[in-house]
Amino acid sequence: MYYSFFKKAILILILLIIAIPFITFSVLKFNKNSSKNNATTQDTSSPNIKNFLLIGTDGREGEQSFRSDCMIIATMDMKHKSIKLTSLARDTYVDIPGVGKGKLNEAYFWGKEELLFKTIEKNFGIELYKYIQVDFNDLMNIIFTLGGVRVDVEDNEVEAINNLIPASYESCTYDDKGEMKLINSSGTQMLNGYQAIAYTRIRYSDNAIKRDARQRKVLMSVLKDFKNKATSNYEQMLKDLAPYYSTNITSSEIFDLAANAYSSGAINNVKQAQFPIIDDVHVKGATYKDAGWVWLYDLNSVQVLKDFIFNDINMEDNDYLKDNSNIQLNY
């Protein structure tokens, strides 16, 4: 019984960290892209806290370089027995080493995972351990393989989803995707792969911060549904999903992480956050210089991000946000 629960804990952990299961102790070979992954940033913050970068890309066919569309720091915090998912807004104005000032997602365009690591370290002081990358087209296949994802669709999102479904359906490579289906109404419902990706791509009906929240919403829904799903063939599911992601995390490392998360109870204590802090005080959204529309964030609010990740202080409870006398936007 313990062995079965432990295998499921590994899958839950993997789903939680990346929304894309990858190698575990029973799958001893890397997927097709793993050989190219060589980001080597070391985590020195705490032996009990490790930060992974989850990268969602949305490259088009034939493109050699493209930006990262989704960036989430996944923190395995064994010190406080929790797992944290912190979205980094793609339009955050940052200093990209060797390139200059620009949007955070441009770092991936110029230097893939390695430069994105360096950019996050330089601007936010967060050292990253390793990464997992998935393209949105592959994520469609993953959601199909998992049987869909349950999402509460709001009234103002229905039309936006349906506008994006045709393009997502067209790019979907899943063999059994069937005929294209639109969303008929709002409310909680099961979305298939291309519908879920259309949902995560909504942007212009509100803003990019809401888009980040939708991406985390899908991630958490996948986790919740899987935790309640009865399945005995975990190894086969992992093998089915393996082609759809790339990572530099080894099978032994994920085994150790899963064991710690399972035994400590951290896998049942998941927290979420967003940076910059969108409150019209510690950030300003504007068209700036030649960067286009960006988030100019309060440089001192980076400590709020660090306190959440390393000290387990929820952002909304941080004392710094109660005093607006030290705000310094990164112009």
Per-residue pLDDT tens over the stretch 34-69? 333 333 333 444 678 999 998 877 655 555 556 777
Provide the domain limits for residue 118: 2-135+238-314
153 within a domain of the structure (yes/no): no
277 within a domain of the structure (yes/no): yes
pLDDT tens column, 232-277: 555 666 666 667 777 888 877 877 777 777 778 887 788 989 999 9
Give the dihedral of Cα atoms 119, 116, 210, 63; nearest 10 deg.
140
Please give the residue that has the higher pLDDT: either 85 or 222. 85
Q: In sequence order, what are the beta bridge partners of 135?
A: 57
Q: Give the pLDDT score at 279.
A: 87
How would you classify the pairing of strands 82-88 and 149-153? unpaired
265 within a domain of the structure (yes/no): yes
Q: What is the rounded CA–CA span in Å between residue 93 and residue 127? A: 19
90 within a domain of the structure (yes/no): yes
Q: In sequence order, what are the beta bridge partners of 82?
A: 77
Closest CA to 276 of 19, 104, 160: 104
268 within a domain of the structure (yes/no): yes
Q: Give the pLDDT score at 38.
A: 36
| CATH code, domain carrying 278 | 3.30.420.590
Query: Would you place residue 25 in the very low, low, confident or very high pLDDT band (cuts 50, 70, 90)?
Result: very low
Q: What is the rounded CA–CA span in Å between residue 91 and residue 254? A: 31
User: How many Cα atoms sit within 13 Å of 155 on the Cβ side?
Assistant: 0
Q: What is the rounded CA–CA span in Å between residue 250 and residue 262? A: 18
pLDDT of residue 157 exceeding 60, the answer is yes
Q: In sequence order, what are the beta bridge partners of 85?
A: 74, 272
25 within a domain of the structure (yes/no): yes
DSSP, collapsed to helix, strand or coil, labels residue 100 as: strand
13 within a domain of the structure (yes/no): yes
245 within a domain of the structure (yes/no): yes
Tally of domains within the chain: 1
Closest CA to 221 of 136, 151, 273, 137: 151
Query: Would you place residue 21 in the very low, low, confident or very high pLDDT band (cuts 50, 70, 90)?
Result: very low
Q: What is the rounded CA–CA span in Å between residue 285 and residue 297? A: 9
pLDDT of residue 203 exceeding 80, the answer is no
How would you classify the pairing of strands 270-275 and 82-88? parallel
